[in-house]
Amino acid sequence: MSPSSSPVPPPSRIPIESLLSGPSGSTSPKDLQETELSAEERALAQAHDAAAQAAVEQAQAEIEIDNGSDTTSDSASDAGYETDSMYSASTSISSSVRDFAFENGRRYHKFREGSYNFPNDPSEQDREDMKHAMMVNLLGGQLHFAPLGEHPGNVLDMGTGTGIWAIEMGDRYPSANILGVDLSPIQPNWVPPNVRFMVDDVESPWLKPPNYYDYIHSRHTVMAIRDWPLLMKRALEHLKPGGWMEMQEIHHHPYCHDGSMPPDHPVAQYWVLIHDALANLGVNFNATLLLENMMREAGFVNVSTRIFHVPIGTWPKNKVLKLVGLYWRTVLMDGLQPIALGPLTRGLKWSKEQVEVWLIEVRKAYMDAWVHSHMPLHIICGQKPDDGDGPPQATN
């Protein structure tokens, strides 16, 4: 199946409050509403609204390329997101869940050590938060597409990472009771009162009782989960009847509509190798394409997928997608070493030095201006069958 050829209808209601988001995802639209705007500022805000609406629509169909003809465009520049690449190595011997393990100069989780192949050090956390900003901009500010109503109850965020999604959900739905679970204790202490975090493995039996959650969410976990069918079975058991599960997962394979990225391009080759290495470690990095069917097979109903194209680089004409592309390319370039190091050294037995040398070429290739590539983001929602009068139908 070609993800590019599966357009789905755009959401009917698209909040645009994320448009002025910074990399942390923090927004200032409320401040803006409360302040009196000049005519110029109002025009600017309207232009942003239109660009955001167009971004959501184009990302689900075909993204228009910026051919440089719009001289008034305030294109997102490439500057400002350099990576700090100074890491030091040391060794941890304690087994506390709050400890860390160190390998090849990067910090990893200690609880269930070795099961997740990517670091959790501060530069990785910054990268995760930039990924969140990319998502917020791409999705017009929507944190979820399952129809939760205004008062969702118990919410689980599987593989919560820095907890940024859980925290924003907690702010948006004060009545909800949000639990973020992760192998790494990297979440902040100061969070909304309705948000809690726990170090645990979502692939082990869950502590909460069956029929407990109203909504189970995961995002960017396709590089982590080994047994999706079992995880879905567990999710189904722990959801209330009528409750929703939603997965937001990118297929980490660069596609292009115009053939500008040949299969032997170093970036394409990079991702092939990461897939091979993860396969040796028991992770199917292509699982994104299988999740919809797996959900149906697990027993979910009203299963649907939306596909958004995430541009890599600043090639889109649309301003919001240009920013999304800048964020995403930065996330991938800053992630070159942390994404490759664990899989290639553990899964393909490369040395750290071999990895570093190989990355030089890939790093350069990410900046090839003639390439118009993207990665498909799949948003898959499904519902636990309801014994009652029938479930609500909707996907936004």
Ligand X SMILES: C[S@@+](CC[C@H](N)C(=O)[O-])C[C@H]1O[C@@H](n2cnc3c(N)ncnc32)[C@H](O)[C@@H]1O
Q: Which is nearer to ligand X, 223 or 359 (CB)?
A: 223
Pick out residues in 186-245 that bind ligand X (CB under 6 A). Answer: 201-203, 219-221, 224
Q: Which is nearer to ligand X, 220 or 238 (CB)?
A: 220
Taking the complex as a whole, how short is the minimal distance between the CB of residue 281 and ligand X, in angstroms?
Answer: 12
171 binds ligand X (CB under 6 A): no
Of residues 192, 247, 241, the one with CA closest to residue 216 = 247
Which part of the chain contacts ligand X (CB under 6 A), choosing from 157-165, 168-176, 187-195, 332-340?
157-165
377 binds ligand X (CB under 6 A): no
Burial per residue of 219-235, b for 16 or more beta-carbon CB atoms within 10 angstroms, e otherwise: bbbbbbbeebeebbebb
Measured CA to CA, the distance from residue 55 to residue 59 in angstroms comes to: 6
Quick count: other Cβ atoms within 10 Å of Cβ 94? Answer: 10
184 binds ligand X (CB under 6 A): yes
Cα 27 to Cα 16, 20, 108: the distances in Å are 11, 6, 31
132 binds ligand X (CB under 6 A): yes
Which part of the chain contacts ligand X (CB under 6 A), choosing from 43-51, 70-78, 177-185, 316-324?
177-185
Q: Which is nearer to ligand X, 9 or 22 (CB)?
A: 22
Helices and strands (H, E) in the chain, number of each type: 10, 10
254 binds ligand X (CB under 6 A): no
Taking the complex as a whole, how short is the minimal distance between the CB of residue 203 and ligand X, in angstroms?
Answer: 4
Contacts of 221 (CB under 8 A, 6+ apart): 158, 159, 247, 249
As a whole number of Å, the CA-based R_g of the chain is 21
Taking the complex as a whole, how short is the minimal distance between the CB of residue 249 and ligand X, in angstroms?
Answer: 10
**How many residues belong to the site for ligand X (CB under 6 A)?**
20
246 binds ligand X (CB under 6 A): no
Contact of 98 with 356, CB cutoff 8 Å: no
Q: Which helix (H) or strand (E) holds 133?
A: helix 122-138
Which residue in 66, 121, 126, 128 binds ligand X (CB under 6 A)? 128
Measured CA to CA, the distance from residue 386 to residue 383 in angstroms comes to: 8
138 binds ligand X (CB under 6 A): no
124 binds ligand X (CB under 6 A): no
123 binds ligand X (CB under 6 A): no
Give me the residues that bind ligand X (CB under 6 A), please: 109, 116, 128, 132, 159-161, 164-165, 181-184, 201-203, 219-221, 224
